[in-house]
Structure 1
């Protein structure tokens, strides 16, 4: 199809992350369809994608700017060469601070471990050490639990004894206070009926020692020294409180140590299970994988060092070629783009956009529309305005390339539904008239599909029109 359309392949490149490289390829004829087919649904000036590198390449189909093909080829080749240089640097960078000799020594050591069973011995040693640690921690947990139980019992007994001592102290204080108060009483009447005692009865108490109230013998002062007992009991209470506080502190200390030891025990149990489940075979497998990884790095580095084809020098050459081609393209495109911008501005006025003052078409396939004293871009226009700008751009580019004699467009355009948006019938008719004139001035074949008034067909010969009336199909 490229030969049939008299088009050249578009050189470009594509990154392939899965292979960690960039490849060079050429777009086929299907990539050019954006330069042939235009409808009102696209938001791009040319093609289907806004601001892409491919859109800029499609612009060359219309303009045929000299050196453009060279620029695309040099730029694509430069990207591929840069990718190869980066790939080489990444592979060499995997060595880090190690030399090739260091990697070879590591590989030899790993193979030795596999051969003499060092991995098996190390795995068994790790497992035995973990089991011994587990047994030690289990005994420690049991001892701490027993110690905490004994301390709890001591704390309970100590608290009970302290309560009893405080009760004895209280009794001593009450007895001491009562004896001091009641011993000083000297009753002269009955405490019940307030009958005054006779003088004989009071004398009798003094002589015989019998109580004048109840006639019972008055007891001598108690032989118990409650004051001394009180002081002794206070000292015992203070000593017991100090001892109880120390036991409680020790119990809290043991409890915290028990929590930590249990956590260590759980971690050790997991380690034992992990080591038991892994076995020695997995240790050998790990060593084999490590050996294979080192071998792969050594092989890749050896190949890269031995197959240096001068990509870094090629990058410098291609960068210079890209810069020079870009300079030539910019110089060649300036006059063509300026002429195309003038044609677009005039055609937009004919298509109903009367307020357009100036149009600037850029090499990156973007366009500036100066209208009504302001400046607008293609994407900020209404849908109907975008359609008119696209069609005007197509026609103007073909006219400009025809006038300059450098155009590469094969002369095939398909315009779908130009009246789909809010264009007035008069504007549609004027646009179709412009397309009809284009077909006379430029060697181009047009296919236009639309719904509109029959008057719009006056610009075309009847045998070139395929019509469908209401209720019927076109094909």
Structure 2
């Protein structure tokens, strides 16, 4: 089938699945710069030739200036030195030049030694020279040169038109260099930024540093099978660096654009909802303020029905205050009269009781009844009163009371009459007191009303406050009259149609990629299992990797396990096995687009026995030779390197000495 027929078929399939005309599919793919072509795999070779490090080492170990060149074999190169003698630093320097930033393993102390770092490499068939000048661990100037071949760049640190050497980029800082390298390498390697949705509201973009994780393999303890980031589906997307499956690149771009469109639409809806809620609160606030302002203005306005002049209101209030004072005085007098009448009634009742029961009381009825001695003011207590009734002795002088009780009934009748008279007087006094109380209460209410009316009628004094209150009411009414209600975002038919088309395209491309991967992954799984066993992964029956870069392990006689459940040493060996298997099968099918460069740091340190390490080094050297793969590996085991690797592949320092 020709490319044109394939293109027509793909756009027709997308149109049929989305239920739209073919022209709509073409318009959407053109608008977003997406290919309707399943492009063949493009080689992305990456080779390093020569590294030169210049600076001055400080500290106790080999202090002093250094200027160390280092070359790399076409296949495997082993960097051999004692621990903490610069092996990992070489990998980090290669990474800094090629990725734009070193990893965290690059110590600040080591960075501070550096003055110049030069790297000659071939990127996608183009010779490039990376030239860094540093001070205090930071780039002060940098350039990437290009020439006709790597030999033309040797010992050249600046553009030289005579030798055909020109500059691809220049940078004056660490950040500038990192940014420019990221753009340069994406372009030269024909890679698109990896975009994924983040929390369904926004997107994240990963550039060349994320891809570089397929070159510099993570340590054994890392959870990611490929790359440095295990989340957001990045390991699966890095598979396209290893195996350019049919439609894989197009699928990644279509999904990225679709996810961006969906995330932006959701973000707009969320923003519209937030604005609507905010506008509703604003309207509620304005209405509440307006209600309060109207109430305040009403309190300041005079009563239109009783708009009495201020002088008359003040005069009436004064007159009411005087009348109330007189009424309160009358009430005081009525209260005194009532208390006196009540006392007289109580005494009359007691006297009636006494004359009814005691002859002595009848004999003394018409006499005085003092409460104290008339001469010395000594109080006559209750004891003397009781003795008067019981022993017929005078409560004042204590002399015996004698005489004839000749008219008992008359005395009793007179006492009863006195009680009746005093009771009548008490009732009359109480009625007078109640009328006085009613008068005081009524006058008090009238005075309070007059004072309230007087306060509200102070027009001249409250005019500024009234005008301000009226202005506030008018301002709030005006604000509400022009209040902009939140707009409900209308349906964007063009965007909705684009999402439908992109979703249909992603579904079709995903199925095409899945179908193409089915047979390919069978061979990849077989290669991974065989290599893992060679590298020392014990009791392994088979493995299964999927397009999301998830690796499942099937041990002999045991239940399946995931890659993340393995030990650090097993993870490193499996990771190397996966990378080599993908490269081998990809080249076999002509779909491998991995740069062909692997950086592996101290694999033996990851719980690896010497026999397993020998197998790993031997197999890596063999694979590198037969698969056009360049591997830079480090080890502190001098015997291991010498026993398993050809001498030309070893870059070795003396025991205890620095590699550079």
Please give the TM-score of this superposition, normalised by the length of structure 1.
Answer: 0.61
The ranges of structure 1 where at least 4 consecutive aligned residues each deviate by more than 6 angstroms after the TM superposition are 14-17, 20-23, 83-96, 126-129, 156-166, 184-187, 216-220, 233-247, 276-285
Aligned partners of 1:416 and 1:33: how far apart in 2?
15
Rounded to whole Å, the distance in 1 between the matches of 2:420 and 2:487 is 93
Aligned partner of 1:404 in structure 2 is 589
**Structure 1 residues 226, 53: CA separation in 2 closer, same or farther (over 3 Å shift)?**
farther
C-alpha displacement of 1:370: 2.2
**Is 1:369–2:556 an aligned residue pair?**
no
Relative to structure 1, is the Cα distance of residues 47 and 280 closer, same or farther in structure 2, using a 3 angstrom cutoff? same
Residue among 639, 642, 653 paired with 1:454 = 639
Indicate if the aligned counterparts of 2:526 and 2:543 stay in contact, CA closer than 8 A.
Answer: yes
Tell me the CA shift for residue 438 of structure 1.
1.4
C-alpha RMSD over aligned residues? 5.7
How far off its partner does 1:409 sit? 0.8
Query: Offset at 1:461?
Result: 2.1
Determine the structure 2 residue equivalent to 1:34: 213
- Structure 2 partner of 1:8: 190
- CA distance in 1: counterparts of 2:562 and 2:513, whole angstroms: 24
SS of the residue aligned with 2:591? Answer: coil
Distance of 2:272 and 2:541 partners within structure 1: 59
Whether contact under 8 Å (1:165, 1:236) holds in the other structure is no
Structure 1, residues 381-404: CA drift from partner, whole Å, max 9, x if none?
232332222222112222221222
Distance 1:223 1:8, change over 3 A: same
1:72-471 paired onto structure 2 within 5 Å? 72-79=252-259, 130-131=296-297, 133-134=299-300, 171-183=347-359, 213-215=400-402, 221=411, 222-223=414-415, 225=417, 228=420, 310-371=494-555, 373-471=558-656
* Aligned equivalents of 1:463, 1:378: Cα separation in 2: 35
1:359 counterpart SS class: strand
Partner of 1:70: 250
Are the counterparts in 1 of residues 345 and 419 from structure 2 also a CA contact under 8 Å?
Answer: no
- Of 230, 233, 241 in structure 2, the residue corresponding to residue 61 of structure 1 is 241
How far, CA to CA, are the matches of 2:196 and 2:468 in structure 1?
A: 48
Does the C-alpha gap of structure 1 residues 216 and 281 become closer, same or farther in structure 2, counting only changes over 3 Å?
closer
Q: CA deviation at 1:451?
A: 2.9
Which structure shows the higher helix fraction?
1
Verify the 8 A CA contact 2:345 2:426 in the aligned structure 1. Answer: yes
Query: What is the CA deviation profile of residues 13-55 of structure 1, one whole-angstrom value per residue up to 9, with x for unaligned ones?
Result: 57799xx9989x9x65444201111131532111112242332
Q: Relative to 1, partners in 2 of residues 1:277 and 1:214: Cα closer, same or farther, differing over 3 Å? A: closer
Q: 1:230 to 1:460 in 2, by over 3 A?
A: farther
Unaligned runs of 5+ in 2: 1-42, 46-122, 125-187, 277-288, 304-309, 311-316, 364-386, 392-398, 446-461
Aligned length: 388
How many Å apart are 1:70 and its aligned residue? 1.9
**Shift in Å, 1:85:** 7.0
Question: Tell me, what secondary structure is at the counterpart of 1:466?
Answer: strand
The alpha-carbon distance between structure 1 residues 129 and 328, as it changes in their structure 2 partners (threshold 3 A), is: closer
For 1:65 and 1:444, how far apart are their aligned partners in 2? 20
Alpha-carbon distance in 1 for matches of 2:650, 2:609: 21
Distance in 2 (alpha carbons) for counterparts of 1:286 and 1:171: 78
Residue 343 of structure 1, CA deviation: 1.9
- 1:387 to 1:217, Cα distance in 2 relative to 1, 3 A: farther
CA contact (8 A) 1:417 1:451 kept: yes
